[in-house]
Structure 1
Amino acid sequence: MTHWIENIATELAERDVEEHVIASGTSISGSIHIGNSCDIFIANAIGKKLRELGKQAKTIWIADDHDPLRKVPYPLPEDYDKYLGMPYSVIPCPDGCCDNFVEHFEKPLLTVMDDYGIEMEAKSGFEMYKTGVYNDYIRTSLEHVDEIKEIFNEYRREPLADDWLPYNPICDECGRVNTTYAYDFDGDTIKYRCECGHDGEMDIKSGNGKLTWRVEWAARWKIFGTTCEPFGKDHAASGGSYDVSSIISEKIFDYPAPYPVPYEWITLDGEAMSKSHGVFFAPEEWLKIGPAESLNYYLFRSKPMKAKDFSPKMAFLDFID
């Protein structure tokens, strides 16, 4: 009986693709744990197996570091709530040990990737916006806003407003990105209003804003030529992110949606892992109690959608044997 990773790689290998790009991504909203880093481990394993089958394949990891802070992660002080709504990329490091918030939470993960034998190219959403990688995709999205709105409305109870645009500027008054509403555009200039009371304009070339998630995800697939992507089961729900982004990818960006590999979340002692409540277990912590191979075994011994509960109190010696 072949392993599920082998089955996926074999199916992908049969496709007429010059190079497979297995994408993974993580929101840098706090500590990266063994639950939300599953994307990386699964993507790496699929890429490795494809190369063993003689195919060109690479694994990329995109840090979603331009998203807004929605909850203050553990163990940050409560006064960090003043940064709620601001992109992670502009928030300062809580301990003054790194350049910013993003580096503070990225570094522990990136420093152990070699220990786990993970080969990946790291990308930054913030850098992609700032360097103009998304500019043409923003323009295309604005030009096709009616079609995008129609796609969204098929999966919504309440239709989007007539003047809705698939883009959120960063308010140049309060610095927040999840409190702005873009309602008009002229070329590269977008007009918006913010809940703070500010009315403003911004140039998409400034990088001071971002596409709404499901449009951004679709754009990213074409940008990188993604052929396969693992993601948490929340994105895989019927009418969820993957379904909507797939239609946008094909109809707006003329790109086929990648092969999906949804996975079940990992619980910690029966409790959902939460960065805001401090309920999580990180890959670097695993190395303190067991070898890297044991985490790979834990993640890959059962199919991705099978429920997994991790307990540091489990019989690790038996498990490692």
Structure 2
Amino acid sequence: MAQTTPEADWVSRIADEVIAEAERRAPGKKVVCASGLSPSGPIHLGNLREVMVPHLVADEIKRRGVPCEHLLSWDDYDRFRKVPAGVEGVDESWNAHIGKPLTAVPAPEGSPYDSWAAHFRSAMEASLAELGVEYRGISQTEQYTSGVYREQILFAMRERARIDAVLERYRTLDKAAAGKGGKQKQQKPADEAEVEAAEGSGAAAEDDGSGGSGEYYPYKPYCTVCERDLTTVTAYDDETTELSYTCQCGHTETVTLREFDHGKLVWKVDWPMRWAFEGVDFEPSGVDHQSPGSSFVVGGQLVREIFDGQQPIGPMYAFVGISGMAKMSSSKGGVPTPADALQIMEAPLLRWMYARRKPNQSFKVAFDQEIQRTYDEWDALERKIAAGSAQPADIAAHLRASTTAAGPLPTTPRPLPYRTLASVVDITAGNDEQTLRILGELDPEQPVRELDEARPRLDRAQRWISTQVPAEQRTRVRDEPDTELLESLDAEQRESLRLLLEGLDEHWSLDGLTQLVYGVPKVQAGLDPDAKPSAELKVAQRAFFALLYKLLVGGDTGPRLPTLLLAVGADRVRKLLGA
């Protein structure tokens, strides 16, 4: 079993609360943490928080040796509400399937899966496996169509008047608020660029089954002819369980609900029913579910008053944004998913993004240049931990990111700086032979002898360069010297190049070249190479760096010069600098 974390972070505090509450409710019972995802489209990084918060808490409970299970409900019996934009292999013809269960909608063209739900669920399952997330998956299609919830459905129909009365309390609040000139106050994201994590969860519809002109029914059948939920229940008999409905397609039918498994409870009734059925102790939800009249608030009343259960501990979790992108919504194409993130960052780093922030704190996942800074922070934390100078909460977050109760996650044997790896693969265009040469020269005392030593981080950096860095920002080393520029140099510039070239062999390592490129302007100013630079000297250094970039890559900026010099190679550097 993995080491127990210090009692210093939000995960430990919530785990304490959940364990105590579970014991109070049913002594000796296994603790149940829950998540819910709807595979209605690409399941994005905002939806991932719906899973990661319960996962981290459940994992901490397991580390303590307390029996615990993480349930993940796949809300694949939800209706297909709209066709997401930009999904490859999907066109307007999918509009014909709106209203069907997600498991009855065809998968995108070319998919190996038999349904829309299976297509998007499988991608998320693969990402969760890579992230080390253990859970018991529950298909709501299987639960409903196999009759698992049959008694709960019949009970809800018998108690429909009481359910309607509870719901009416909140409808009245909404009407009162509207009469005063506005709706109930909703919690909004602090940053509009951060998207609600609710879209893509089963709670998105916020359906309570109201809206009809007749008697209230908390059950919605799918039409047996057109398969859609464009139905209206017209009659129900509690004794015989005969249910009559009409559909907008023109079909009318009377079924025996005790035997009919082609429909589901409306969302605001379905969720509390499941809390009671599964005995859920902990399930967080997005900010939209915490507002007055929302499914979480109303569900708390229904689970206690109707289903004789208890509402789980359910803290709010905040929005997740993407650095450099305006919005993240699973209804739009091109939305970053966990699979996208795992192509450019290692699993422990992505886990760390969710572990280091309290659930009510928003954060952004970097797909742009910020990813280099994020990796720098991660590497700096590991150095602090090794030196014994890290704070307890930071140690806990790192442990949760790099290990689970089942053991450690895979790591890179030689975790070289991400920005260095990115520069190297950028300059070499991913050539393995050139990449190995450069990595082997970074630290001559401990050379990298095989690329596998730097993997998988190396592969993530290469993927980032190839997919996230625009072609015009890629590094292109000059093929021939810029003779016109070289001939125009003044004496001081020529001297700076001479000093650099003379020191290449002696300083041919990452640290050595760093000392050399920063030291040349110091030597020219009559200072010791180790002297602290003044403001005036910094200006001279920037001018020297700009000259080198122009001669090597034809621009004013580029990768860090020490890395660039190593990547170009000593012979080519001499050629391009006019030696």
> What interval of TM-score do these two structures reach, taking the shorter chain for normalisation?
over 0.9
Which of 34, 37, 42 is the aligned partner of 1:31? Answer: 42
* Residue correspondences, number: 320
User: 1:194 aligns to what?
Assistant: 247
- Letter of the structure 2 residue corresponding to residue 282 of structure 1: T
Is the 8 Å Cα contact of residues 161 and 216 (structure 2) preserved in structure 1? no
**Whole-Å Cα distance in 2 between the matches of residues 77 and 90 of structure 1?**
17
User: 1:302 aligns to what?
Assistant: 357
Deviations 1:146-193 (A, max 9, x none): 10000111111468645120011001232211x212232123332112
**Whole-Å Cα distance in 2 between the matches of residues 246 and 314 of structure 1?**
43
User: 2:20 aligns to what?
Assistant: 14
User: 2:292 aligns to what?
Assistant: 238
Is the 8 Å Cα contact of residues 273 and 279 (structure 1) preserved in structure 2? no
Is the 8 Å Cα contact of residues 169 and 202 (structure 1) preserved in structure 2? no
Deviates more, 1:141-150 or 1:70-79: 70-79
**Whole-Å Cα distance in 2 between the matches of residues 317 and 227 of structure 1?**
39
1:249 aligns with 2:303: yes
**Whole-Å Cα distance in 1 between the matches of residues 349 and 164 of structure 2?**
46
TM normalised by structure 2 equals 0.53
Is the 8 Å Cα contact of residues 69 and 87 (structure 1) preserved in structure 2? yes
Is the 8 Å Cα contact of residues 44 and 329 (structure 2) preserved in structure 1? no
Is the 8 Å Cα contact of residues 353 and 365 (structure 2) preserved in structure 1? no
Q: CA deviation at 1:296?
A: 1.3
User: 2:235 aligns to what?
Assistant: 184
Q: CA deviation at 1:137?
A: 0.7
User: 2:96 aligns to what?
Assistant: 82
- Classify 1:285/1:184 alpha carbon distance in 2 versus 1 (closer, same or farther; 3 Å): same
Query: Secondary structure at 2:364's aligned position in 1?
Result: strand
Structure of larger gyration radius: 2
- Letter of the structure 2 residue corresponding to residue 238 of structure 1: P
**Whole-Å Cα distance in 2 between the matches of residues 167 and 262 of structure 1?**
28
**Whole-Å Cα distance in 1 between the matches of residues 227 and 33 of structure 2?**
34
1:152 aligns with 2:167: yes
Deviations 1:36-93 (A, max 9, x none): 1211111111111112233211101000001111110231212111111111011111
User: 2:119 aligns to what?
Assistant: 104
**Whole-Å Cα distance in 1 between the matches of residues 39 and 254 of structure 2?**
27
Greater strand content: 1
Query: Secondary structure at 2:321's aligned position in 1?
Result: strand
Query: Secondary structure at 2:130's aligned position in 1?
Result: coil
Hey, which bits of structure 1, 4+ residues long, moved more than 6 A? none
Q: CA deviation at 1:119?
A: 0.6
User: 2:571 aligns to what?
Assistant: none
Query: Secondary structure at 1:229's aligned position in 2?
Result: coil
Structure 1: runs of 5 or more not aligned: none
- Classify 1:315/1:102 alpha carbon distance in 2 versus 1 (closer, same or farther; 3 Å): same
Is the 8 Å Cα contact of residues 233 and 243 (structure 2) preserved in structure 1? yes
Is the 8 Å Cα contact of residues 47 and 59 (structure 1) preserved in structure 2? yes
Deviations 1:211-262 (A, max 9, x none): 0001110111122111110222211212210111111111111001111022
Deviates more, 1:258-267 or 1:63-72: 258-267
Q: CA deviation at 1:270?
A: 5.1
**Whole-Å Cα distance in 1 between the matches of residues 118 and 138 of structure 2?**
13
1:173 aligns with 2:188: no
Q: CA deviation at 1:96?
A: 4.0
User: 2:152 aligns to what?
Assistant: 137
**Whole-Å Cα distance in 2 between the matches of residues 225 and 143 of structure 1?**
22
Q: CA deviation at 1:285?
A: 1.3
Query: Secondary structure at 1:237's aligned position in 2?
Result: coil
- Letter of the structure 2 residue corresponding to residue 172 of structure 1: T
Is the 8 Å Cα contact of residues 283 and 314 (structure 2) preserved in structure 1? yes
- Letter of the structure 1 residue corresponding to residue 64 of structure 2: L
- Letter of the structure 1 residue corresponding to residue 347 of structure 2: A
1:206 aligns with 2:276: no
**Whole-Å Cα distance in 2 between the matches of residues 224 and 136 of structure 1?**
14
**Whole-Å Cα distance in 1 between the matches of residues 65 and 361 of structure 2?**
30
1:120 aligns with 2:120: no
Deviates more, 1:273-282 or 1:118-127: 273-282
Deviations 1:264-311 (A, max 9, x none): 122334533222221521111111111111111111222212222334
Is the 8 Å Cα contact of residues 164 and 183 (structure 1) preserved in structure 2? no
- The structure showing larger relative contact order (alpha-carbon pairs under 8 Å, at least 6 residues apart) is 1
Which of 293, 314, 321 is the aligned partner of 2:348? Answer: 293
Is the 8 Å Cα contact of residues 169 and 209 (structure 1) preserved in structure 2? yes
User: 2:519 aligns to what?
Assistant: none
User: 2:372 aligns to what?
Assistant: 317
Greater helix content: 2
Which of 9, 16, 20 is the aligned partner of 1:3? Answer: 9
- Letter of the structure 2 residue corresponding to residue 29 of structure 1: S
**Whole-Å Cα distance in 2 between the matches of residues 265 and 21 of structure 1?**
24
